[in-house]
Amino acid sequence: MLIKCPHCGTRPVEEYTFLGDATPQRPASSDPATMDQWFDYVYLRDNPKGRFHEFAHHAGGCRSWLVVTRDTQTHEVLSVVTARDFARNRTGAGA
Amino acid sequence: MTSFRLSRGGLIDRASTLGFSFDGKQYRGHAGDTLASALLANGVQLMGRSFKYHRPRGVISAGGAEPNALVELREGGRREANTRATVVELYDGLTARSQNRWPSLDFDVGAINSLGSSVFVAGFYYKTFMWPKSFWEKVYEPIIRRAAGLGTASREADPDKYERAYAHCELLVIGSGPTGLMAALTAARAGERVILADEGSRHGGSLLFEREEIDGRDGLEWADGVTAELASMPNVTLMPRTTVFGWYDGNIFGAVERVNDHVAVPPPYEPRQRYWRFIAKRAVLAAGAEERPIAFGGNDVPGVMLASAMRTYANRYAVVPGKAVVVFTNNDSGYRTARDMMAHGVRVEAIVDSRPASSADTGGARVLDGRTIADVKGRKNVVAVTLADGERIDCDTVAMTGGWSPIVNLLCHRGAKPHWDESIAAFLPPEDPACAFVAGGSAAGKMLLSECLADGAARGAPDGAARMVPSCRDEAFAITPFWWVKESKGKAFVDFQNDATADDLLLAAREGYGHIEHAKRYTTTGMATDQ
């Protein structure tokens, strides 16, 4: 599989280390009342067939954190953005 | 010079004599031989024992799909089990041993399994070794493992080095027969970076063993000309002895290059093998097609081989495995073997054609239309064949052909399915015009040389237009499906390597395992390394 890093260009998948699902968001509050949200954030993951966002660390290249969007069925890489841009777009969209 | 070696012709160097040993006995061959062709030239037909029944076996093919002639190669830490004698290039001092026999290949005690073969039917293990449960691991499995099996691995460390490497290209061509050479040439002339990989030691594919005429020249001469032109171009990498084995996401291909498998010991600082990853913008599968056997009684007796294999041994290695041949065919390509064998001075006793009539060029051989071979007489070599209607024909070798199957495997690695084509009675590779990996030539079901050359040129061209296609003489092809001789009394093998017969498949169907996936599991048909 080939992944196009926004900084380094197209590189083989071996250069990347994957952390997992990039969709869950850390709850803003540490109030014990938000325990359910924390439980979801720490433990619960979807296993979607189709579009999937995942964190990737370009360890063999620029060492930046990225979010790779990929189709889990066809393995097609749909987009690669920096984790920072991904987070900004998400808050910008009001999520 | 043995009587099995022709005095002229072939791609062997008669000036260089190489000594080698098989089961401790010394033989001589020539540079350009494979282990199988050198053994046949020395009159050795018995090269192995079968997996389950320990039946005597000889070579059936002349290429990578060999199920029978599996040998242990080399000694000590370099010992390699289950190598196919048909693809092992001969070198001076080569040592090989047969497998799965005791005490010797010629006299194998395990052959007693053949007598009890009525109990060793499909599903035998499942039906017999059921209880007590604890016996399976401690008693049954070790016994079965010893009785059935392949070679043994070396217990010493491998002293050789292995490497990995990457290569990038605009076009990867897999296979260098007429199609592959045309594809590579067209792309290379258009200025693309091309990698041409072929598992053989020399480029040319079928032109190495078929007598063809391209551009008014001998086919092999044409292939050598194209190979020389490709070798002179800086944008082309020729990779002989390289098998492409996998297709992965992003049009990445895995391949193994046998850098120094054709010598006893790799030169200093060189690896034995190299693992490649090719990253290709486009790729063409030009792996060709594979000939199929027909299921009839004793179709595994040493001396029975595929028709194309017999042609290969005669035309490429100048070895004729026998003096009197019977050809059994359901298509036109069997006639080609008959004509080639007669050209080499071998008597063709008959062409047995399962079709009621055919228009193929017989070359003057006796043709028995609408007849079939029911059984082969002989155990360690062929003595005669009996036809389904009872007629006996004395002979010492049988060439069989059940048609051709395009080698579609690589194109199915990412989930696409092949589809059946009635006109050539074979599965064709999946077709997706948007895909950057396509099949060409006989791997795509093209059965004529002119079609292969044109298809290769079109698949190789960046714009898909076939240009500069050379002219050639075509060999007609027609087939009427015929797979199994019902009248056979002996074992009719469908899967030679796993000893699965037509009767096993019938039993599987009778016992409710008729679905192809069930039948495969139940009988182990198609689950061996030659699948």
Tens of pLDDT, residue by residue over B200-232, are: 999 999 999 999 999 999 999 999 999 999 999
Instruction: Tokens 């040993």: give the residue.
Output: B21
Domain of residue B414: give its range.
162-290+405-460
- Report yes or no: B496 and B56 within 8 Å, Cβ to Cβ: no
Q: Are residues B411 and B279 in the same domain?
A: yes
Binding-site residues on chain A for chain B (CB distance < 8 A): 1-2, 12, 75
Q: Are residues B337 and B393 in the same domain?
A: yes
Asked if the model's pLDDT at residue A28 lies above 50, the reply is: yes
Residue B525: the pLDDT is 86
Residue B139 lies in a domain: yes
Give tens-digit pLDDT for B305-357.
999 999 999 999 999 999 999 999 999 999 999 999 999 999 999 999 999 99
Residue A94: the pLDDT is 45
Question: Percentage of chain A surpassing pLDDT 90?
Answer: 76
How do B162-174 and B194-197 pair as beta strands? Answer: parallel
Q: How far A5 CA lies from chain B's nearest CA (Å)?
A: 15
Task: Tell me the DSSP string of B222-239.
Answer: HHHHHHHHHHH-TTEEEE
Residue B527 lies in a domain: no
Last residue of a domain, one of B147, B179, B197: B147
Name chain A contacts of B279, Cβ cutoff 8 Å: 2, 12
Q: How far A76 CA lies from chain B's nearest CA (Å)?
A: 8
Q: Best interface-test mutation with B: which of A5, A11, A13 has the largest number of B CBs within 10 A? A: A13
Q: What is the CATH number of the domain that holds B25?
A: 3.10.20.440
Long-range contacts, B445-450 (Cβ 8 Å, 24+): B445/B289, B445/B406, B445/B421, B446/B179, B447/B289, B447/B404, B447/B477, B448/B474, B448/B475, B448/B476, B448/B477, B449/B178, B449/B212, B449/B214, B449/B473, B449/B474, B449/B475, B450/B474
Residue B55 lies in a domain: yes
What are the residues facing B89 on neighbouring strands? B34
Q: Are residues B180 and B237 in the same domain?
A: yes
- Name the closest residue on chain A to residue B415, using Cα atoms: A74
Cβ contact (<8 Å) for A12 and B252? yes
Residue B112: the pLDDT is 72
Q: Are residues B208 and B121 in the same domain?
A: no
Q: Are residues B280 and B358 in the same domain?
A: no
Number of domains chain A contains: 1
- What mean pLDDT do residues B378-401 have? 96
- What mean pLDDT do residues B35-45 have? 96
Residue B197: the pLDDT is 98
Give tens-digit pLDDT for B89-129.
999 999 999 987 877 888 877 777 766 666 666 666 666 66
- What mean pLDDT do residues A31-47 have? 92
Q: Residue B415 — pLDDT band, cuts 50, 70, 90?
A: confident
Question: Percentage of chain B surpassing pLDDT 70?
Answer: 93
Name chain B contacts of A12, Cβ cutoff 8 Å: 252, 277, 279
Q: How many residue pairs from chains A and B have C-beta atoms closer than 8 A?
A: 12
Give tens-digit pLDDT for B312-322.
999 999 999 99
Last residue of a domain, one of B147, B182, B212: B147
- Name the closest residue on chain A to residue B250, using Cα atoms: A1
Task: Tell me the DSSP string of A20-76.
Answer: EE------S---GGGHHHHHHHHH-----SSEEEEEEE-TTTT--EEEEEEETTT--
- Name the closest residue on chain A to residue B416, using Cα atoms: A74
User: What is residue B64's three-state secondary structure?
Assistant: coil
Number of domains chain B contains: 3
Cβ contact (<8 Å) for A2 and B249? yes
Q: Are residues B279 and B416 in the same domain?
A: yes
Give tens-digit pLDDT for B260-278.
999 999 999 999 999 999 9
Cβ contact (<8 Å) for B249 and A75? yes
Name chain A contacts of B250, Cβ cutoff 8 Å: 1-2
Lowest mean pLDDT, pick from A11-25, B102-116, B411-425, B517-531: B102-116
Give tens-digit pLDDT for B472-497.
999 999 999 999 999 999 999 999 98
Residue B186: the pLDDT is 97
User: Model pTM greater than 0.80?
Assistant: yes
Residue B366 lies in a domain: yes
Q: What is the CATH number of the domain that holds B363?
A: 3.50.50.60
Q: Where are the alpha helices (DSSP H) in B50-156?
A: 124-128, 135, 141-147
Torsion of CA B431, B481, B478, B413, to 10 degrees: 20
Q: Residue B135 — pLDDT band, cuts 50, 70, 90?
A: low
d(CA B198, CA B484): 33
Check residues B41 and B147 and name the one with the higher pLDDT: B41
User: CA quadruple B320, B321, B326, B332: dihedral positive or negative?
Assistant: negative
Asked if the model's pLDDT at residue B193 lies above 60, the reply is: yes
Binding-site residues on chain B for chain A (CB distance < 8 A): 248-250, 252, 277, 279
- Report yes or no: B100 and B150 within 8 Å, Cβ to Cβ: yes
Q: What angle do CA B304, B286, B283 make, to 5 degrees?
A: 150
Cβ contact (<8 Å) for A1 and B279? no
- What mean pLDDT do residues B500-518 have? 90
- What mean pLDDT do residues B250-256 have? 95
**φ/ψ of residue B454, rounded to 5:** -70, -40
Task: Indicate the average pLDDT of chain B.
Answer: 92
Q: Are residues B307 and B286 in the same domain?
A: no
Residue B121: the pLDDT is 62
Cβ contact (<8 Å) for B279 and A2? yes
Residue B115: the pLDDT is 66
Cβ contact (<8 Å) for B248 and A12? no
Q: Are residues B71 and B191 in the same domain?
A: no
Contacts of B294 (CB under 8 A, 6+ apart): B328, B330, B354, B400, B401, B402, B482, B483, B484, B485
Asked if the model's pLDDT at residue B411 lies above 60, the reply is: yes
Name chain A contacts of B249, Cβ cutoff 8 Å: 1-2, 75
Q: Best interface-test mutation with A: which of B166, B249, B275, B414 has the largest number of A CBs within 10 A? A: B249
- What mean pLDDT do residues B3-31 have? 95
Q: Residue B12 — pLDDT band, cuts 50, 70, 90?
A: very high
- Name the closest residue on chain B to residue A3, using Cα atoms: B250
- Name the closest residue on chain B to residue A71, using Cα atoms: B249
Q: Are residues B342 and B386 in the same domain?
A: yes
Q: Are residues B314 and B448 in the same domain?
A: no
Cβ contact (<8 Å) for B249 and A12? no
Q: Are residues B277 and B314 in the same domain?
A: no
Residue A95: the pLDDT is 42
Residue B129: the pLDDT is 61
- What mean pLDDT do residues B416-439 have? 93
What are the residues facing B394 on neighbouring strands? B384
Residue B520 lies in a domain: no
Contacts of B236 (CB under 8 A, 6+ apart): B184, B188, B193, B194, B195, B196, B230
Q: How far A70 CA lies from chain B's nearest CA (Å)?
A: 12
- Name the closest residue on chain A to residue B166, using Cα atoms: A12
Q: Are residues B284 and B271 in the same domain?
A: yes
Domain of residue A62: give its range.
2-92
Q: How far A7 CA lies from chain B's nearest CA (Å)?
A: 19
Residue B102: the pLDDT is 74
Contacts of B385 (CB under 8 A, 6+ apart): B326, B328, B352, B373, B375, B376, B377, B392, B393, B395, B398
Q: How far is CA A82 from the centre of its chain?
A: 9
Q: What is the CATH number of the domain that holds A8?
A: 3.30.2270.10
Residue B1: the pLDDT is 43
Q: Residue B79 — pLDDT band, cuts 50, 70, 90?
A: very high
Residue B467: the pLDDT is 84
How do B367-369 and B373-377 pair as beta strands? Answer: unpaired
